[in-house]
Every structure is written in structure tokens, then in C-alpha cells.
Amino acid sequence: MTNRPALPPEIARRRTFAIISHPDAGKTTLTEKFLLYGGAIQMAGQVRAKGEARRTRSDFMQMEKDRGISVSASAMSFDFDGYRFNLVDTPGHSDFSEDTYRTLTAVDAAVMVIDGAKGVESQTQKLFEVCRMRDLPILTFCNKMDRESRDTFEIIDEIQENLAIDVTPASWPIGKGREFIGTYDILNDRLDLMDRADRNKVAQSVRISGLSDPKLKELIPAELLGTFLEEIEMAQELMPKLDHDAMLAGTMTPIWFGSAINSFGVKELMEGIATYGPEPQIQRAEPRMIAPEETPVTGFVFKVQANMDPKHRDRVAFVRMSSGHFERGMKLTHVRSKKQMAITNPVMFLAADRELAEEAWAGDIIGIPNHGQLRIGDTLTEGEALKVTGIPSFAPELLQTARAGDPMKAKHLEKALMQFAEEGAAKVFKPTFGSGFIVGVVGALQFEVLASRIEMEYGLPVRFEGSQFTSARWVHGTRDAVDKFAAANKQHIALDNDGDTVFLTRLQWDIDRVGRDYPDIKLSATKEMM
């Protein structure tokens, strides 16, 4: 992104990012501390407390808790050092990878949290690969340094080897485990010392002038100083210095060491995000890209969440603003339907509370309550027919037939299923031959989640049963070719919730056969959201 014009200050100060991590690495704790330093909450523990209060509301939420997964992702905004941070929460469980993928289309960077004792774990690796597909800049936080952790060089090597990314230390830990006393802030030539007595206290920072500063001797116990100096000398000799361009290109990650629970290293990480994190980026779209500094407002829906409040059947579409300065009450064109929508009650998620968003700038995330008009992938503009691209929908890997527990309620079931399909929680296919619905998901756990949500939110018992099909492929071609193909393969054809034609089968052989017999038809495992 060189040679780009300077962004308007309001946009330039926005940092929109997500946290990626393996369960238990400390994402929730870090989020809490972010909000604490962002002044959005008064006391750490509130995020969890609020979460818990919400969770007890239903069995579904109970299940979420039991399994340690977080299904209801949201976006939170807070200010730090003159910057506006927008933190988009990623669902934690691997079963929700599609949802996670789409969430990552709404951010400009990711913070990767790893556990200092465990290193790069499976889920981190998966999420990292998704970030790489988009060349997202990554900032790394190595957490739990207050406990026995791995050797610092080993941790850095592991990230480098497993994730094939250059790593540059932004800070260096002093002491290990019980002896961990803080870090040397390499980027700012500072010593940051941890206070174990007060977990919510911001670390004491001492500016020093280089590693030969006599203050080091006063502040670091003699038994730790020798090892620290040896390590840092070796690190500075062997490891690359921070190259900002490489970081922005996603080929180098700076790593901070800290302990989220002790509020340690968090402020330094936040300063890092502010100083080195990317500004709102250019958005890919058709027929042209969208630059954040453009005056007309544009945004796109990356997530839809239904029934956030079980008393109201509303849905909230989460919109990432791609350009301009949005003000409440604005009329925006919903490009897919070409209709105008007055956005009168957009919400912003400040900490754990919803608030009316009076305005929003490129980079911000707003929630727009609606009755189902807004779907994942939709673009909103001030009139120009632009369509944001790169928000895919993946072919489900598991298919099952949904049956209403009460046959009289089949219509209701259809409605519920369609709603979840719009939310992106599942794919729903209506076979053109026979009755019932085929529901497709990426991970098996989603069937359970769906069944309990349908029961909770619609009062409908539902059964999922094995389907004769195991694969779904979208059918592409001219209208004529698709119709002809569909007529000749009736038993295999279904329509998805957007009305697009899908080929269902249980044999790879069938998919290969279509490739041979129908040269004017293409089958694909992903479709761009319409």
C-alpha cells in the first residue's frame, strides 16, 4: 500500500482487528484487558460476567458454555491513545471455520495469541492459514509468561517454522515462570516491570538508554541479568529487526511477551497495534475497488445474527464500513435489491453494551437491525452499484435431512431453517424431487447447535437424519445450460436458500462424470455470497 494518499485523520486512527487463538490461550482475558485499558469497562471480569448472565438464558447457551465455544460473535469498539479500536470477535470453535473466515474479511489485521507453554496449537495454525489467504498483517502476543514457559528462542523458532512467517521480537522476557519479572521493550528501549500483587495495575515502565544503562543493574536481579543480556544480544544478532512494510504485507510478525491475567504486556501490545497496525484498507469490489477515503459511504454485511434478543425476532446485520463517513438516518442503497434503506437505528457495540451509532467511519463495524433484508455478502452504498467480493460460501461437508418433530409444523421448520441459512449458520437445500430439506454444515457440532436453537427460538422439535447425499456442488453455467442439466438430473438437484441450483450426490464419480458429460456446466465447492 505505498503511495496512497494520507487518509482523513478520523479514518487513519481506526484499527480494526480480530484475535485468533487456540481455546484457552487467553483470548477472553486479553479482550477484557483491552477493554479495561480502552476505558470501556471499569473492572476486569465484566466481559465474562456479562457473557455468563447472557448464557444462562437458554440451554443452547448452556451448551455453548459446556463445550467452551463462543457462537455469538460480536464487535466491540473502544478508544486507546487517540486511536479507535474495533475488535471483531471470532468464533472459537473449529466447527465454525466458515463463519470465522467471513469474520476475517471484515478486519485489517489479526492479533495471534499463543500460550507460552504450548506454542502454536492446531486451531491457531488453522486460523493463521485463513489470515494468510488474505495476507492479513499479524501481531503476536505470547501469553502466560508468568507461568513456566518454553524457551523464548524455541517459541520464536516454532512460529517461524510452523507458520512460515518471519518473527521479530518487539519485547524480550526477563526471567521465566515464577522468576519472570517483566520484559525489555525493544521497540521503545524501555523496561516494563510486572506487579504480581495487583493484577489490574498497568506495568511500571522505565525508560533506559540502551542495554548498557546502569539502571538495568538496579532493576534486574543479578541472577537474571546475565542470562537476559546474553539472550537479548543473541536475539538482536540473529533475528530480523521490525520491517514495517513486511509486517503490513503479512510476511513478518512482531511478538510481544506478557501475561494477560496480570495485565502485563497488554498496553505495549496495544501501542504496537496503534503504531504499526494497518489503517483501514482498500476493499475488493466489482466493478472497482473501494478506497476508505472516498466520500460516498459504502459497507458490506459480513455476519448476520438472528434472535440476539429472544423476545424480538429481529436480526442484526454486522456491517464493515468500507468508505466514507456514515451518519445515522442516512439512506443507503441495498445493491442486491436496488432498494433504498433508511438506516435509522444502527448500533455500535461499545464494550458489552449496545449503543446507537450516531456516526461511523470507514473501518468501523455497525450493527443494523432488520427483518431479513440484509444478508451476508450484501453491499450498501450511496447509490453506486458496487459489489464487495471475496466473501465465500463453502460447500458443506456434512449433509442431513431435517424433519419436523411434529409433521404439522413443516412450514414453520422451513422458515426457521431459511433464517439460519441467511445467518450463514448452515446451508439449506430444497430438493426438487421429493420432500423435506437437506441441511449442510461444515462441522458435525453445528447440527446439535441448530437443533437446540430451532427448539429454543421457534419451539420446534427437530430431528436430523442421515441423507442419501454426502456432497453438494453449486452448478454454474448459462441459464439454459443449467436448466437442461437440472432436467436431466432431477434426482440430484436442489435449490439453495438463494434459489441457486445445487447438485447433490454421494459419489465423487458423479462429480467427475458431470465434468466429462457436460462441458458447458461447472460444479464448484464455493460460491461467492450474492
- Of 28 and 323, which CB lies nearer to ligand GDP in the complex structure? 28
Q: Does 28 bind ligand GDP (CB under 6 A)?
A: yes
- Of 21 and 140, which CB lies nearer to ligand GDP in the complex structure? 21
Q: How far is the CB of 75 from ligand GDP (least distance, A)?
A: 17
Nearest 5 degrees, angle CA 87-CA 90-CA 93? 155
User: Would the annotation count 162 as a binding residue?
Assistant: no
Contacts of residue 37, Cβ cutoff 8 Å, sequence gap at least 6: 80, 202, 266, 267, 270
The only residue of 50, 54, 67, 147 in contact with ligand GDP, by rule CB under 6 A: 147
Q: Interface with ligand GDP by CB under 6 A: which range of 25-33, 39-47, 235-243, 344-352?
A: 25-33
76: helix, coil or strand?
strand
Q: How far is the CB of 258 from ligand GDP (least distance, A)?
A: 7
User: Would the annotation count 28 as a binding residue?
Assistant: yes
Q: Interface with ligand GDP by CB under 6 A: which range of 142-150, 151-159, 231-239, 471-479?
A: 142-150
- Of 71 and 399, which CB lies nearer to ligand GDP in the complex structure? 71
Show contacts with ligand GDP in window 248-277 (CB under 6 A): 259-262
180: helix, coil or strand?
coil
Q: What is the 3-state secondary structure (H, E, C) of 397-437?
A: CEEEEEEECCHHHHHHHHHHHHHHHHHCCCEEEEECCCCCE
Q: Are 429 and 440 in contact (CB under 8 A)?
A: yes
Contacts of residue 467, Cβ cutoff 8 Å, sequence gap at least 6: 399, 400, 401, 438
Burial 513-524 (b: 16+ CB within 10 A, else e): ebeeebeebebe
Q: Does 372 bind ligand GDP (CB under 6 A)?
A: no
Total chain residues near ligand GDP (CB under 6 A): 16
Q: Does 26 bind ligand GDP (CB under 6 A)?
A: yes
Q: Are 402 and 462 in contact (CB under 8 A)?
A: yes
Rounded-to-integer distance, Cα 407 and Cα 411, Å? 9
Burial 483-492 (b: 16+ CB within 10 A, else e): eebbeebeeb
- Of 140 and 259, which CB lies nearer to ligand GDP in the complex structure? 259
Rounded-to-integer distance, Cα 39 and Cα 313, Å? 32
User: Would the annotation count 94 as a binding residue?
Assistant: no
Q: Which helix (H) or strand (E) holds 353?
A: strand 353-356
Q: Interface with ligand GDP by CB under 6 A: which range of 16-24, 201-209, 224-232, 420-428?
A: 16-24
Q: Does 501 bind ligand GDP (CB under 6 A)?
A: no
Task: Indicate the Cα dihedral angle 341, 344, 346, 350, nearest 10°.
Answer: 170
- Of 171 and 262, which CB lies nearer to ligand GDP in the complex structure? 262
Q: Does 25 bind ligand GDP (CB under 6 A)?
A: yes
Is the peptide bond prior to 173 cis by the omega test (within 30 degrees of 0)? Answer: no
The only residue of 13, 15, 27, 336 in contact with ligand GDP, by rule CB under 6 A: 27
Q: Does 401 bind ligand GDP (CB under 6 A)?
A: no
- Of 87 and 260, which CB lies nearer to ligand GDP in the complex structure? 260
- Of 266 and 395, which CB lies nearer to ligand GDP in the complex structure? 266
What's the residue count for the chain? 530
The only residue of 29, 253, 322, 400 in contact with ligand GDP, by rule CB under 6 A: 29
Q: How far is the CB of 43 from ligand GDP (least distance, A)?
A: 15
Task: Indicate the Cα dihedral angle 429, 430, 431, 437, nearest 10°.
Answer: 80
Q: Does 36 bind ligand GDP (CB under 6 A)?
A: no
Q: How far is the CB of 491 from ligand GDP (least distance, A)?
A: 45
Measured in whole angstroms, the distance separating CA 248 from the mean position of its chain's CA atoms is 18
- Of 99 and 422, which CB lies nearer to ligand GDP in the complex structure? 99
User: Would the annotation count 22 as a binding residue?
Assistant: yes
Q: How far is the CB of 255 from ligand GDP (least distance, A)?
A: 15
Pairing of strands 501-505, 471-476: antiparallel
- Of 117 and 350, which CB lies nearer to ligand GDP in the complex structure? 117
Q: Does 146 bind ligand GDP (CB under 6 A)?
A: yes
Q: Interface with ligand GDP by CB under 6 A: which range of 7-15, 140-148, 475-483, 502-510?
A: 140-148
Residues of this chain that interact with ligand GDP (CB under 6 A) are: 21, 23-29, 143-144, 146-147, 259-262
